[in-house]
Structure 1
Amino acid sequence: MTGLVFAVLALLASAVSLASPTVRSTAPTVVLDRGTFVGVDTGLNFQFLGIPFAQSVAGTARLRLPKPNLPYTGIHNATTFGPGCLQQASTTPVPPGLLPSSISNASAPPTSEDCLTINVVTPASFTPKSRFPVAVWIYGGGFETGMTSSFDGGVIVNRSIALSEPVVYVSMNYRLSGFGFLASQEVKDAGLGNLGLQDQREALRWVQKYITAFGIDPTKVTIWGESAGAISVGLQLVTNGGKTEGLFRGGFMESGSPTPGTDITMGQTVYNQIVAETGCSGSPDTLECLRIVPVDTLLAAINATPDILNPNQGLNITWEPRVDGVFLPESGQNLVAKGIIADIPIVNGDCDDEGTIFSVTLANITTDEQVSDFISRNFFPGASSSQMANLLALYPQDPAAGSPFDTGEQNALTPQYKRLAALQGDIIFQSPRRFLFEQRATKQPIFSFLSKRGKSTPFVGAFHSSDLQNIYGGGELTDYLVHFVNHLDPNGPLVTGETFAWPRYEPSHPQMLTLLDAPLPALELTTDTFRLDAISFVRNLTFQSDGIL
């Protein structure tokens, strides 16, 4: 759940030069309906930015389902990104030096309530008859932060050209925090849960309607995301009874899988708090009142709720997809257990130390009793004392057993830090991923990876989102993504002419492509059997909490 957002990636991306650009004398244009959109010519690629894919969701249209854009007319400047959707401000202080600068010092580009825009980056050679495949990017950020302008899709397109496997890159903004994931009985009764996921789905429908004008084959769409974006991909796979509606044919997930989830009414306490702080408590229709209060008033109330680094909740985040009876009839993990998931090829992997950056603020937890209370309260409220004792035995206090893994006694910020990091990483990331594979790997093509790069990063190791520096920096994952978008298989020749085969995941021999630190190329195959008993126990506790065991 990052997004916390990688401004550094833009610098990384700009340093990647694959060929000398040739800028043409006229700007690229594309016609949609009766509207002409004027884009940017960067040399190797054309970029059409900030195109509205839905009607405004500001003001009285707030907290409503997205509606398709009206037919385009006139001439439109598509040379700059649209504003990001409103972001949740973090009020949790983090001691200096504990988080990588790309996470802790992210810049704050413009934001707006009217934010549902889409971006298309094409090879400069495109024509309406090119029929390129497309990678549709969904950003992360814990469903609290994130925006498309933080990521340079030109890196992906340029690399695909160098590999002679051109792809088109598409990204969309979607509503966040209380604007996109408000939860309560009132929201459930109105059928308005998971609006952020509904925004994503509307953007995918836009792709089907308009994308041929950009030289794309609409039957060759891969949805791809990281963190909250990867969880979003997983939930797009299980919604609608697992039917894709022809919107996509592959899924590429970095640090996220179909997740457990509570009923949307479990957000009632936070909803009531927001209603009170906005002065809507006396309204006969509190949801309608929230639509007409000034947006700054509503945002301030949302910002007063716990953010993703809050030391009382950790990765039990305030704003998350929930079971709403419409987009999600059951939790994502329940739907996977019942076989309700799109039968398409999947890539899904994690970083080795997923839980570290979300545990640096938990310095107040120093005893076994406090660890047990924190984990049971936030993740397994129905667990018995004996079950919690068994869980802590499987995740011992010994720093050498904790995360960052394989770093011995180092990085032990507090006596319980590495233990908490191991627990949070496995509960939220590793367990759902492994369960997905156990359920589906014999039924559909699945490829798994593990990024262990960056182990020397102080305190956080191969932290959550560190793999983004590989894929948006033009590393191996970029190549594998391009191959997958083209062939639904990540394998293909690297630019050096060498090939490192990435086998399909098989439950009887669960191999993972593993990215290691230098010397490069540092790739190997490892077996997905780490912490086998511990993660199995986590899975069973999760199922018990979800009510399916």
Structure 2
Amino acid sequence: MSIQCGYLLAFAAAICCAYPIVVLDNGTFTGLALGETEAFLGIPFAQPPVGDLRFRPPQSNEPYTGPFNATAFGPACVQQTFIIPEESNINPVALEVLKLRLSGPPLIDDEDCLSINVVRPANATSVSKLPVAYWIYGGGFETGASSMFNGSVIVKRSLELGMPVVFVSISLTLGFPMGIETRKAGNGNLGFLDQRQGLRWVQKYIAKFGGDPTKVMIWGESAGAISVTAQMLMDDGNAGGLFRAAFAQSGSPLATSTVEDNQALMDTFVDAAGCGKELRSPSVFTCLRDVSAEDIRAAMNATPNLFSFTSVAAGWNPAADGVTIPAPFQQMVLHSNVANVPLISGNCDDEGTLFALSNSNITTSSEFEDYITEVWAAGDRAAVEPLFAAYPEDPALGSPYETGIANNITPQFKRMASITGDLIFQAPRRLFFNRVVKTQPVFSYISKRMNSSPVLGAFHTSDLPIVYGPGDMTDYLIRFATTLDPNGANTNATEIYWPRYTLETRRMLMFLDGNISLAIGDDTFREEAIGTMIEFALAHPLP
């Protein structure tokens, strides 16, 4: 989950040369020349999900024919508008921070949105066979757009390293509340299916752009990182040759439950769209396909978002639907197969601070305990009692970490931030690692960059500049995409060797502020508390 800010592309300013051309089937695609790189933007990778195809799995395109202008991004998919509801629930300082983080121009969205973008080195040809970095954006499964990320940065840096790669990103269907109707209709978790359809497109066409379909690394941040791990779990871990490596920034298989546990939210969504008479029946989707896109957007906005009082329990998370996600995510981690591919997965140090802003009117221990009991455990007080002991209200132990009593804008803020960050990010990662490090190469990191940020510390999304800057994570990523090892033979003098993560050593790379920007540390922080959180989340997954 994340809100991406400040990464809008500036491709147009770099145009310098003749427009590049790529032929796909019988279609001629004209892209942008950007000096060292070329971009082909807004290419449809599936039929438009409109009319009878709304709320259905993506359908393959017919073969391309005729000319196509691939010089501009397609629109974002129809999505929830991030607003700040219930301002009375928010501390004044938190409100100002939240408004700042959510500022920026609104995204242009549309239902006809399933498009793919390719950025390649300008000298790439159909026989170059370059590794492919397949990017999935975040946004809490509620919002987001591929146009917010500059893939040219990655490709240019890969050229400087002498390890050229092709960058791919897609626009995909965002989440919608799911209930029993979803299970009956077999159309849950459509965004994951869009991602897989995009990967099939890459297999079919990426060689035309100079990419190698056998060398695809799936890569994402926040909801995009959760999506990366979902792709590793889908089809009982059978990647089907669609990817050979995975890179997950701030996201692992969440502790979420079944579509039935989201029924109340589905009811709200359906009723707001004007289809309340069809509740609890697959025919509800017949009604939903007849309403306008404006009605769908309004129905999305009628449901909570990440910055509602319920925060990360807003109900937009992936859920078991019996088809795409057969069982709750973490049960699949424990009992299903996982794609056996090399993995990099890590987090920011203060993942929970951003999500503790919207319930910052909670100021007493009693209010904190009541909130966790009702929102996280449906009133089961006994289930959450161990968490209260594991996450005491001492602000020196809370998040932002290592800041003493600073940043505690309310007596419970740092406590809420700590417990939230571990529930959604750190605990799922450690549970996932307990499984995958036994079978495949795994590398982990923690970013403490921007630890001195007031209130938020090293907040969720603060590692994005380390990649899209470009920054020092960029080089590790490019080497991993190319060689399946983030170190490679061309590690420069300012970098250090990134060791493989094992359950015996649990070593991870640390991105730091200051003169020492990289170090190796141990993934043993809050060990007892996170162990308690893993046990709680397995027994009480979020809706």
CA-to-aligned-CA distance 1:261-285 (integer Å, 9 cap, x gap): 2111222212222222232223472
CA distance in 2: counterparts of 1:36 and 1:158, whole angstroms: 25
**Equivalent residue of 2:396, what SS?**
helix
Q: Which residue pairs with 1:110 in the alignment? A: 108
CA distance in 2: counterparts of 1:444 and 1:517, whole angstroms: 31
Runs (4+) of structure 1 exceeding 6 A deviation are: none
Contact conserved, 2:272 with 2:302, CA < 8 A, in 1? no
477, 500, 504: which one aligns with 2:500: 504
TM-score (norm: length of structure 1): 0.93
Q: Which runs of 5+ in 1 are unaligned?
A: none
Superposition deviation, residue 361 in structure 1: 1.6
**Equivalent residue of 2:277, what SS?**
coil
Is the deviation greater in 109-118 or in 124-133? 109-118
CA distance in 2: counterparts of 1:374 and 1:487, whole angstroms: 47
CA distance in 1: counterparts of 2:491 and 2:20, whole angstroms: 29
Q: Which residue pairs with 2:520 in the alignment? A: 525
Q: Which residue pairs with 2:181 in the alignment? A: 186
Which AA in structure 1 matches 2:500? R
Matches within 5 A, 1:11-90: 23-24=16-17, 26-90=18-82
Superposition deviation, residue 98 in structure 1: 1.5
Distance 1:542 1:77, change over 3 A: same
Q: Which residue pairs with 1:461 in the alignment? A: 457
CA distance in 2: counterparts of 1:380 and 1:508, whole angstroms: 33
Q: Which runs of 5+ in 2 are unaligned?
A: none
CA distance in 1: counterparts of 2:378 and 2:399, whole angstroms: 24
CA distance in 1: counterparts of 2:325 and 2:220, whole angstroms: 19
Q: Which residue pairs with 2:266 in the alignment? A: 271
CA distance in 2: counterparts of 1:546 and 1:176, whole angstroms: 21
1:376 matched to 2:373: yes
Which AA in structure 1 matches 2:154? I
CA distance in 1: counterparts of 2:489 and 2:104, whole angstroms: 35
172, 176, 193: which one aligns with 1:174: 172
CA-to-aligned-CA distance 1:136-189 (integer Å, 9 cap, x gap): 0000000001000000000000000000000000000111132xxx31111110
198, 218, 222: which one aligns with 1:223: 218
CA distance in 1: counterparts of 2:492 and 2:468, whole angstroms: 19
Q: Which residue pairs with 1:153 in the alignment? A: 151
1:281 matched to 2:303: no
CA distance in 2: counterparts of 1:460 and 1:117, whole angstroms: 34
Contact conserved, 1:492 with 1:499, CA < 8 A, in 2? no
Percent of aligned pairs with the same residue?
A: 45
TM-score (norm: length of structure 2): 0.94
**Equivalent residue of 2:39, what SS?**
strand
| Aligned residue pairs, count | 531
Superposition deviation, residue 392 in structure 1: 1.1
Contact conserved, 1:142 with 1:317, CA < 8 A, in 2? no
1:330 matched to 2:355: no
Contact conserved, 2:246 with 2:343, CA < 8 A, in 1? yes
**Equivalent residue of 2:500, what SS?**
coil
CA distance in 1: counterparts of 2:505 and 2:413, whole angstroms: 33
Superposition deviation, residue 371 in structure 1: 1.5
Distance 1:384 1:211, change over 3 A: same
Q: Which residue pairs with 1:253 in the alignment? A: 248
Superposition deviation, residue 91 in structure 1: 3.0
Q: Which residue pairs with 2:196 in the alignment? A: 201
**Equivalent residue of 2:141, what SS?**
coil
Which AA in structure 2 matches 1:172? I
CA distance in 1: counterparts of 2:466 and 2:537, whole angstroms: 31
Superposition deviation, residue 499 in structure 1: 4.0
CA distance in 2: counterparts of 1:353 and 1:546, whole angstroms: 22
Superposition deviation, residue 384 in structure 1: 4.3
**Equivalent residue of 1:119, what SS?**
strand
Which AA in structure 2 matches 1:427? L
Superposition deviation, residue 380 in structure 1: 3.2
Superposition deviation, residue 330 in structure 1: 1.0
Is the deviation greater in 375-384 or in 414-423? 375-384
**Equivalent residue of 1:379, what SS?**
helix
Superposition deviation, residue 120 in structure 1: 0.3
Q: Which residue pairs with 1:415 in the alignment? A: 411
CA distance in 2: counterparts of 1:519 and 1:237, whole angstroms: 37
CA distance in 2: counterparts of 1:100 and 1:163, whole angstroms: 39
Q: Which residue pairs with 1:238 in the alignment? A: 233
Superposition deviation, residue 100 in structure 1: 8.2
Q: Which residue pairs with 1:128 in the alignment? A: 126
CA distance in 2: counterparts of 1:382 and 1:544, whole angstroms: 14
CA-to-aligned-CA distance 1:441-460 (integer Å, 9 cap, x gap): 12210000000010111100
